[in-house]
Amino acid sequence: MNRLSSLVVVLALAAIGTGLYLWLRPQPEPPAPVVESPPAIAESAEPPAPPPPEPEIQHPIEPPAAAETTEPPAAPDITVAMTGLLGRDAVLSFFNLDHFIQRTVATVDNLARPHAPPRVWPVNPTQGRFTVDGAAPGERIASANYNRYRPFVAAVTAVSTEKAAALYKQLYPQFQKAYEDLGYPRGYFNDRLVAVIDTLLATPDPAEPVAVNLPEVKGPKELQRPWVSYEFSDPALESLTSGQKILLRMGPDNRRALKAKLADFRRQVTHSMAR
């Protein structure tokens, strides 16, 4: 019995008991009639504010067409799906498939923010160290540094964008749930993805080589790993988002190739991927 039902029963028993008492007791002389003033009408309370409207979805992903069977299709195994898309060697070399969808969603969201913690990346950190040419205060990103990223860029750009978009659509319910679990219960992940892609496509192409510097360290403690602490000397570049600065560190050729791939993928996911 819920609380409301219990309350109703208690009130009913109280009313019955009161009625029996009034009926069985001696009846007193009726009192003189008293003219009562009409009860004051209480002012109506302010109506509750309506809930905020649901945000309008800008780039909906249409669900797959219903099959003849009554059972919904099972989501593909992510390892099998990624291996089929990229090849086994590329998957082993570049990707972390442990909680891959959650990692992807968190990283996409972070790429448009000042920081994207590597511990949640869906890709493995690039091998080698960030290298510079010259001495402080005239350090520049070394052109040889860009070679570290070429194998990853080659693997990604070799993938069929249409097939990658089709897999994304197939897995979209999982991406959406991961986005809601991240703290956006009213958000739509594909809209966030498109907005982040637009941010990455807006990454500037500064003159090469790009000037960098180590941040000033106050105190006797020295940087143990200075190659991960370089900042862009130009304040406008240093104020870019984490994703834009990653593209800058990759160099102009890699950046151009990834921008083209991102633009192609954006076209796929902004037309509901109807094919």
Q: How many other β-carbons are positioned within 10 Å of the β-carbon of residue 146? A: 19
Q: What does each of the 275 residues of the chain score in pLDDT, given as a tens digit?
A: 444 334 333 333 333 333 333 333 344 444 555 445 544 444 445 556 565 666 799 999 987 665 555 565 677 899 999 999 999 999 999 999 999 999 999 999 999 999 999 999 999 999 899 999 999 889 999 999 999 999 999 999 999 999 999 999 999 999 999 999 999 999 999 999 999 999 999 999 999 999 999 987 666 565 555 545 899 999 999 999 999 999 999 999 999 999 999 999 999 999 744 43
Stated as kind and residue range, the H or E segment containing 30 is none
Check if the beta carbon of residue 109 is closer than 8 Å to that of residue 121: no
H-helix segments, the chain: 3-24, 78-86, 88-94, 100-111, 150-157, 161-170, 172-181, 189-201, 235-238, 242-250, 252-269
**pLDDT computed for residue 62 by the predictor:** 84
**pLDDT computed for residue 71 by the predictor:** 63
Look at residue 248 and give its three-state secondary structure. helix
Contacts of 10 (CB under 8 A, 6+ apart): none
**pLDDT computed for residue 53 by the predictor:** 65
- Tell me the CA end-to-end span of the chain in Å, nearest whole number: 54
pTM value is: 0.76
Which residue has 């993805």 as its token pair?
Answer: 193
